[in-house]
Structure 1
């Protein structure tokens, strides 16, 4: 759930987010899917496979943290004008339950859309037999940059 309503910077914001997401080798390697992006919000899904599990058969904490970083990051990216990029400055994840299920979902949403820093939060839940269980929460600080400085 978002705390504030944000306006899209222009009609092409979602296409820019999807294009950027498609360039992420790690997301492709892990099998992460971008389900939905709206202004200030991004929903990702990671299907379970042994390659993203830990020794007890749960989703690995690294996979959970990766989803938190990317869902919050793309929630922030969705608010930037064409030619702007975003980088994570810091993020924190609290794992509050085992990530056990057929898929992991991460919903990042912007809390504060500042000029120099953007703050995002993320809820990560596992879905098992149609039941969703919140397994982690995250918060991150993002920095918008001119794309020419990043590329």
Structure 2
């Protein structure tokens, strides 16, 4: 995995990303797509803050889930669909300011289940969250 996508594949997935309303609401940025991987960014801002002023964990979980979903999409046929089965996130440190980057990588792609690892880093490249998630193909 991690080979480049064809131009047609990348364009299709970028268009699909633009159609995800919740990703637009959070202003997620699609940085890179490669076979089995996806990189997304989110900027810390007041409307995504929790009580103490840090970026809300739900926003970071959504960043991870979306990055993982698009890493999975790079391995599927256009007509195949998936949904998240589970998602475990470990928050290691808060995102105080700046941009968080999520790097998703498909660890295993089975006939039905796909397991993905996501690392989220802050602007200094410090690891702020580790995520493991599983998707199932809808038949």
TM-score greater than 0.5 by the shorter chain: yes
Secondary structure at the aligned position of 1:132 is classed as coil
> For the structure 1 residues 9 and 105, does the alpha-carbon distance in structure 2 shift closer, same or farther, using more than 3 Å as the test?
closer
Aligned with residue 96 of structure 2, among 97, 100, 120:
100
Residues of 2 paired with 1:117 and 1:16: CA distance?
23
Q: Which residue of 1 aligns with 2:113?
A: 117
Count of residue correspondences: 139
Unaligned runs of 5+ in 1: 147-151
The Cα RMSD (Å) is 1.7
CA shift for structure 1 position 9: 7.9
1:81 counterpart = 2:77: yes
Secondary structure at the aligned position of 1:58 is classed as coil
CA shift for structure 1 position 33: 0.6
Q: Which residue of 1 aligns with 2:137?
A: 144
1:8 and 1:78 in contact (8 A); partners too: no
Q: Which residue of 1 aligns with 2:11?
A: 15
Unaligned runs of 5+ in 2: none
Aligned with residue 135 of structure 1, among 120, 128, 137:
128
Normalising by structure 1, report the TM-score: 0.85
- Equivalent residue runs for 1:53-64 within 5 Å: 53-64=49-60
2:40 and 2:101 in contact (8 A); partners too: yes
Normalising by structure 2, report the TM-score: 0.91
Residues of 2 paired with 1:125 and 1:85: CA distance?
28
